[in-house]
Structure formats: structure tokens, C-alpha cells
Amino acid sequence: MPAHTPEVVAVLDMGATAIRLVIAEVTADRRVRLIEEASRGVLLGRDTFSGAGVIKPRTADSAFAALDGFRHIMDGYGVTEVRAVATSAVREARNGDLFLDRVRARTGISFDVINEAEETRLLYLAVRDSLRRHPALKGAWTLIAEVGGGSTSLTLLRYGQPVRSGVYALGAVRFRQRLELRRYSHEVQVALLKRVIANVIDEIRVEIPLHKVTQIIAVGGDIRLAASHIQAQDGQQQTREIPRDALVAFASDIETLDDDALAARFRLPAIEADTLIPSMMIYATLLSDTAARRIIVSDASLRSGMLMDLAEPEAQASARDFEHQVLASAEALGSRFRFDRAHGRHVASLATKLFDLLQDEHKLSHRERLLLQTAALLHDVGIHVSLRSHHKHSQYLLSASQIFGLSNDETAVVANVARYHRGNLPQRSHLPYMELDQPERMLVNKLSAILRVANALDAEHLQKVRDLRLLRDDQPWVLELIGTGDVTMEQLAGTARADLFVEVFGRELLVRSANVVG
């Protein structure tokens, strides 16, 4: 039997200060072996985070040149699959779509603009893999932090499971451009940075309980540089941990150095020297807000998370791998809008039971089951705005939110499914619905049909219906409710809300009580 030839894959990450390439082999048992890494400094963030917010022609040409070189490297290795992503610098640029269209035309490389939730998911994947045996990853309250040129990614873990995450406007390049720091003396620059960082940290505290955090895992080139320098001073090069006092002292020490002095002291390119002081100030401020006594430095990166996705496409497509994390993030979002947790959880449970009973009818995957769970859990968040037309409020609140592990397209599906848990059925006059592609609209129809019925089965928010049984031998189909107490209201509401169900599945639905216990 011939030996398996490893698949050669590549990932590209277009960030605020550089475009980075990693090429790797994926073996038959889906192990990843790095072959080559390359990076070219391209200051996309310098353009995006300035007043105009537009990627300029000269910067675009630099990006094209870098990607032409990377294309040559990939062709030389015989790369068979490429995943390329762009983050905040392109995501926030007014001409980001046009720029990526030119990239595709010039280089043949198609970049996906990923949202903040996808960034945190990929980074979590990478950190989980790199520190799988480290006790910090399983701590009661652990924070994963990556400070980049455009933004800072934070993921809060509770015993190893993400419960809250966000990407915040804390970035070295962003600050320098927005504040126009080069107009001021070095001392004034440092003072302005401290003030802005403190203001953003104040906003973060509202969403993430930093005071509970006992472990911090840090990711990124700047923190790795700090670790190598501090550990060399302490004679502890074998460790990847920075004591709290040592990091704070290091940040204070380099504050006095301008960019030229930084570049000379640490032998850094100008681009990297530009980000070091703001990055260290952000890490030190975050650390000081927590109870952590040290920072654990990980070699993980967005690119290593992307490689894991490429190596294990089954895991990427499966909802099971991230089901708990997605739902925990959804509940955290629901808590911000003071949702009825018991009702949301119960409707999600009923919806997934009905989804499973209809599996041979809808032919949907476990991933789509997770989207239904998420929409069911959060369908009533619009009540936070107004009880009247709250389904519409739910739609726009969710469409503007980030849920860990869900892409922009998946979030749009969830928002639309939540929108149709009551009220009118999907129509061509509904713009958020019509903005979806045709397959996504069909998915919304199927999931909304199930959610409308499931929500009606908890009409009184008393969680009386405990289980469901679907009888499909005759016409109409019969949905039997197994519950406690009088479920007459649920029967009537379920029948009334079966309108979309009838359209989607082509069967009348009769809702009745099975055996009432208790």
C-alpha cells in the first residue's frame, strides 16, 4: 500500500502591521508540521485608523508585493489549500471590500474578513492546544489576552470553558493614528496613552469581571519579546512565565525610551518598536486590574488556530466541539439584556427536541441545530428595548452582537430566526431576511418554523411541557405534549403558531396533550 503523501497547506493573516504566512504539512493522522513562516510589514492600520479610514494606493501596492512573494513561496511548496483572513485593519477600512477584490484579482488569493467572535474562537483553539496540560487553562477564572496593532482580544475562561469574549479598540497602531501622537513630545505621548488605555479598561470591566481573574495567558510578539528579556535577566529562560512585578517594572522602564532607543536596545525593526510601549502598557494595566500574580506566555497565534481548522475540517464543521462555548457566550449576551434565562433555556430544549424528531424531514446538520439553540435561547432579548414588536428588536440586537464561535453569516441567521419566533412570517419586504443568500433564507424558514412552535409550548413561561412526541402516520401530524399540570394554553398556542411549520414541512400540525402527570 503506498505511503500517504502529506497535504501541504498555507494560512495567511492580514493584520494591522503585517501580513504573515505559515506553510505546513498535514499528515494522514491530521498532525500539523510547520514548514516555513514568513512575514512582511505592511501598515494597513496606519491608513485605516487615521481620519480618512481608507487603505491608500501606496499601502495597497505594498500588500500586493508582499502577497506576490508569498504566492511564489506557496507555489514552490506545492500548497494545495489556502486559508486567508483579514482582521480589524481591513474590517474597519471604508474601502476594505474593494481592496480585497483587488487583492484577489492581482494575486489570486481570496481573503475572508473574519469577525471578532471568529478571531477569539481561533485564538482559543490555538491556546487550548499549546497549553493543553498547563493548570492555568483549567483555572476558575482565566483570561486569554492578545494585544495587536489594531485591537485587543480577550476571552474569559471558567474552568477552561469560554464564557465571555470580546475584541476591544486597544491597539498600538490605532492609538498612534487616532491620537496623532507623533505631534507631541514622548512624555506627552505616554501620558495620553495611559489615559486612553484606562478609559477602555473601564469599559471592559463592565463586560468582563477582571477582578476575579487569577490567571492571565498572553499571546503576541510583543509579550514574547518581553518574556525573553525579563527571563534572561532573571536567569529563568526555561520558563514562559512573567511575574507580575517584573512585567510592571519592564513596562515602566521602557516608557522612558523613544522609538529609536527601543529599536536600538532590542534590535527591532521600526514597525515593531512602534508597538512595544503601548502593548506593554496595555498588558500591565490589565494585569494590575486582576488578582493574577503572573502572566503565562503562549506561542499560540491566530495562524496556528487557522491551521488546526484546516487540519481538522470535520471539527470545524461540527457544532459539538464548540457547543458549550457558543451557548455560554449566548447566555452571557442574554444576561446583558436581562433575558428570561429559564424561559430561553426551556424553549431551546423544546426546539432541539423538535429538530431531532424532524431530522429526516429537514436534513440539517448538528451545526444548524446549534444555530437553532442559540436563536431559541436569545429570541426574547428584544424585550430589553420594548415589549411591543420585541421580535424585531431581537433581530437587530442580535445582528449587531458577537457570539463566540459564530461567523457573521451564522449570526445573521440566528438574528433572523429569532425575529420570526412570533409575528409575521418571512417576507420579501423584510430587508434583513432578503439580504441572506437563498440557502440561508431556506435555513431561516426551517429553523423559524420549529422555533415558533417551541416558543408557543412555553406560552406561560412556566416550563410545563417536559417532552414531545411526534406522530406522523396520518394527516395531520400530531405533536403530543408530555408535561405537568394543565397544558391547554400550550396546546392552543402551539396550534396557532404552526403556520410557518405547515408551509415549510407541508403538513398540518395538531397539538394535543399526551399523558399529564403530577
Q: Say yes or no to pLDDT of 178 above 60.
A: yes
As for how many domains the chain has, the answer is 3
What pLDDT shows up at residue 129?
Answer: 86
Residue 1 belongs to a domain: no
Question: Pairing state of beta strands 152-158 and 142-147?
Answer: antiparallel
Range 14-23 average pLDDT: 94
Contact 119, 154 (CB under 8 A): no
Residue 122 belongs to a domain: no
Does residue 243 sit in the same domain as residue 382?
no
Does residue 479 sit in the same domain as residue 335?
yes
Does residue 403 sit in the same domain as residue 487?
yes
Q: Give residue 180's identity as a one-letter amino acid code.
A: E
CATH number at residue 101: 3.30.420.40
Residue 125 belongs to a domain: no
Which residues span the domain enclosing 345? 318-517
For all residues of the chain together, what is the average pLDDT? Answer: 88
Does residue 109 sit in the same domain as residue 164?
no
What pLDDT shows up at residue 374?
Answer: 96
Q: H-type helices in 379-487, by residue range? A: 390-399, 408-419, 431-434, 438-456
Looking up cell 418554523 gives 449
The three-point CA angle 298-303-307 to 5° equals: 110
Does residue 53 sit in the same domain as residue 163?
no
Q: Report how far residue 417's alpha carbon sits from residue 130's, in angstroms, rounded to the nearest whole number.
A: 36
Cell of 476: 395531520
Does residue 160 sit in the same domain as residue 268?
yes
CATH number at residue 232: 3.30.420.150
Question: Pairing state of beta strands 32-41 and 18-26?
Answer: antiparallel
Residues facing residue 39 across a β-bridge:
20
Does residue 271 sit in the same domain as residue 187?
yes
Nearest Cα to 395, choosing from 381, 384, 405, 409? 381
Q: Give residue 409's identity as a one-letter amino acid code.
A: D
Cell of 465: 411541557
Does residue 442 sit in the same domain as residue 505?
yes
Helix and strand numbers, DSSP H then E, in the chain: 23, 14
Range 490-503 average pLDDT: 91
Residue 312 belongs to a domain: no
Nearest Cα to 247, choosing from 286, 190, 219, 209? 286
What pLDDT shows up at residue 58?
Answer: 95
Tell me the pLDDT tens digit for each residue of 442-475: 999 999 999 999 999 998 899 999 999 999 887 7
Q: Report how far residue 107's alpha carbon sits from residue 69's, in angstroms, rounded to the nearest whole number.
A: 10
Q: Cα(first)–Cα(last) distance of the chain, in Å? A: 64
Q: Say yes or no to pLDDT of 515 above 70.
A: no
Residue 119 belongs to a domain: no
Does residue 59 sit in the same domain as residue 195?
no
Does residue 15 sit in the same domain as residue 97?
yes
Tell me the pLDDT band of 103, cut-offs 50, 70 and 90.
very high
Which of 60, 87, 114 finishes a domain?
A: 114
Cell of 424: 409575521
Q: Provide the Cα torsion 182, 184, 185, 190; round to 10°.
A: -80
Residues facing residue 482 across a β-bridge:
467
Residue 417 belongs to a domain: yes
Residue 329 belongs to a domain: yes
Tell me the pLDDT tens digit for each residue of 182-229: 788 888 888 888 898 999 898 888 888 999 999 999 998 889 989 988
Q: Say yes or no to pLDDT of 283 above 90.
A: yes
Q: Say yes or no to pLDDT of 316 above 50.
A: no
Q: Report how far residue 473's alpha carbon sits from residue 310's, in angstroms, rounded to the nearest whole number.
A: 44
Which of 270, 299, 328 finishes a domain?
A: 299
Range 241-269 average pLDDT: 89
Q: Give residue 54's identity as a one-letter amino acid code.
A: V
Does residue 63 sit in the same domain as residue 102?
yes
Residue 328 phi, psi dihedral angles, 5° rounding: -65, -40
Residue 347 belongs to a domain: yes
Which of 299, 327, 343 finishes a domain?
A: 299
CATH number at residue 400: 1.10.3210.10
Q: Report how far residue 117's alpha carbon sits from residue 18's, in angstroms, rounded to the nearest whole number.
A: 21
Q: Say yes or no to pLDDT of 517 above 60.
A: no
Question: Pairing state of beta strands 465-471 and 7-14?
Answer: unpaired
Does residue 143 sit in the same domain as residue 108?
no
**Cβ contacts of 76 within 8 Å, gap of 6 or more:** none
Range 84-95 average pLDDT: 93
Contact 183, 57 (CB under 8 A): no
Residue 466 phi, psi dihedral angles, 5° rounding: -100, -30
Residue 360 phi, psi dihedral angles, 5° rounding: -75, -5
Residue 161 phi, psi dihedral angles, 5° rounding: -105, 130
